[in-house]
Amino acid sequence: MARSTLGKRTRSSKENDVVDLPAKRQKRQTRSSVINDENTDPAAIAIRNKPNYEETTTEIVEESLAKPSPSKHVDDAKPREQADYTPITPTTPRFRDALARVPVTPRHRVMSAGRVSKRLTPQTPLTPTAVQTVYHHARQLFSRSADPGQLIGRDDERRQLKAFLQRCSTSTPSGCLYVSGPPGTGKSAMVNEVTQEVVDKKTVKKAYINCMSIKSSKDLYATLLDQICHEAEISEDDVATTVQKLFMPRRKSTEVYLVVLDEIDHILTLDLESLYRLFEWSLQKSSRLVLVGIANALDLTDRFLPRLKSRNLKPELLPFLPYSAAQIKTIITTRLQSLVPEGSPLPFVHPAAIELCSRKVSSQTGDLRKAFEICRRAVDLVEMETKQKHEAEIKEKILLSTPSRKPLGENANLSSPSKRLSDKTPSAMLAASLKTLTVENAPRVSISHLNKITAAAFSNGTNQRLKTLNLQQKAALCSLMALEKRNRASRTSSVLTTPSKSSHTIAPSVKSLYDTYCLLCTRDSVLHPLSSSEFREVVGSLETLSLVSAVDGKTGSLAMLQTPSKRGKRSGFSLADEKKVASCVGEKELEQAVEGLGVDILRSILSGEALD
């Protein structure tokens, strides 16, 4: 047995080995070909996973060795009768698509560890809202759209207007009243108030027309018909006739028509004849029209309607004079007292500021609307200063506050900041601080605030006066400024100059100023100089405007009186030319006013290069 085991192989054992080898070798090849085949049916994959898959495959291979198949790509998991099977396109992709899944934003907050800065997510911007303060109530009192209420200071005009309108209750109500006065004297407000009282008590049809909205005489008549009788389907040719029949009926009528025409001077530019008709209709005895006309001109009826005077048809006149300082003060004080209980101090505006405003307005125009505008602008100025003060206090409070111990982090992904965080923002702190202001403790308008507003409102500032000067006046002022600049420079450079001499050099006389003016103007022939008499008139006009002042006392304005010398006669100068003058304008203000026509000439004169 040892020989048979260790010796040469027998022939029978060799045959057995040969029979088994092809099956095993073919089995390996079959497995590798099945794995690499692209057209394999997906159903065969499930069959391969079964436990008896090797046995089935072995049987198929043995049959295929006995009878080979002509097709190379035939499904091994199916019977022979399906040899003509069409390959199926694989639905499973061979490679994985990295972008097949849509990326999803994580719903939790992403923390960036190790970073000091915060990555904030986009948030919905908040709509900026203006912080409304307590000054809003005062601003509404002085706005043009505010209710005028009970008019104060027009008792005589009210009494005369009521006496005229009493004719509406009589059998002959015809009449005409012409109300005149400067703008802002309460004409329209008084007429509307009194006429409305008459309409409410009696059966009177009222029509109010602002003639600025009228484009033609036909438009005037059509507007009257719309407000009085509301008749429709009336042709344009019959409008004037229809209005005449209403105001001057042939039969007796109890209807009374009260027509108020505001700004009637506008009709003068359109059709004078229509204005004549209305005045004549109202002055006829059989008329049922009561006409009240309002305009600014005092003598409108005498200048533009002389035909009325020739026919002995004179309307009644009611002039409204400008408001006095006492009336303006009373009106402003009454409006401000309506915001507080009786006996409380006056809010928002100091009484001294009200006194100054009333005196300024009454001395200029007497326009109550101008006084209201000044008060409103002064309230706006105080409100702006109050906001700036509160903002500065909040910034200082934030800087002095201790830093928070909360670590740096990121805001949540929200559409708007949380209420807890928004309460600590500077804007929220400012709004909370301004809400503490009340009518009683709010800062009031002072005299300094009112002076700033009136200087700009009445154009009496230095800049406004400089803009009204002509070229020669500006040239004379620039020459004086250049001469004073050179004198100051020479005074500082000379240490040994006596005080009397230095005073003479600072304030030049009119004569020396004229010589300097001629020198600067004739340099390069930039401007033709005036004569000495014309130049003195220019200096006088500048002194009237308070741009130049005469220097007196120790500065050398009063020279020692002496008889005119021959030199003075030859030069044409008199004692008036020895008067010393000084400018009342700053150099920067004058540089800003140098504009417009001849700006290069004035700048060359102001530089004073010819004096060096």
pLDDT confidence of residue 151 = 79
Q: Assign 305 to helix, strand or coil.
A: coil
Kindly list the averaged pLDDT for each block of 10 residues, start to end, along the chain of length 612.
Answer: 49 47 47 50 55 48 46 46 64 68 65 48 51 85 78 87 89 90 89 88 86 86 83 63 86 87 85 85 89 88 79 87 92 91 89 93 88 92 92 87 55 51 72 87 91 76 78 89 85 56 61 88 80 88 82 46 40 58 84 79 82 70
pLDDT confidence of residue 10 = 52
Q: Taking a C-beta distance cutoff of 8 angstroms, is the pair 315, 176 a contact?
A: yes
Task: Give the residues across from 445 on adjacent strands.
Answer: 349
Sign of the C-alpha dihedral, residues 283, 287, 290, 294?
negative
Amino acid letter, residue 404:
S
Q: Spell out the residues 6+ positions from residue 579 whose beta carbon is closer than 8 angstroms to its own.
A: 509, 510, 550, 557, 559
Angstrom distance (rounded) from CA 314 to CA 307: 10
> Which tokens sit at 78?
């199916």
pLDDT confidence of residue 230 = 61
**DSSP string across 105-131:** --SSPPP-TT-SS--PPP-PPPPP-PP
pLDDT confidence of residue 85 = 64
Please name the residue that has the structure tokens 């006596």: 498
pLDDT confidence of residue 444 = 92
- Count CB-CB contacts under 10 A for residue 400: 7
Q: Taking a C-beta distance cutoff of 8 angstroms, is the pair 177, 318 a contact?
A: yes
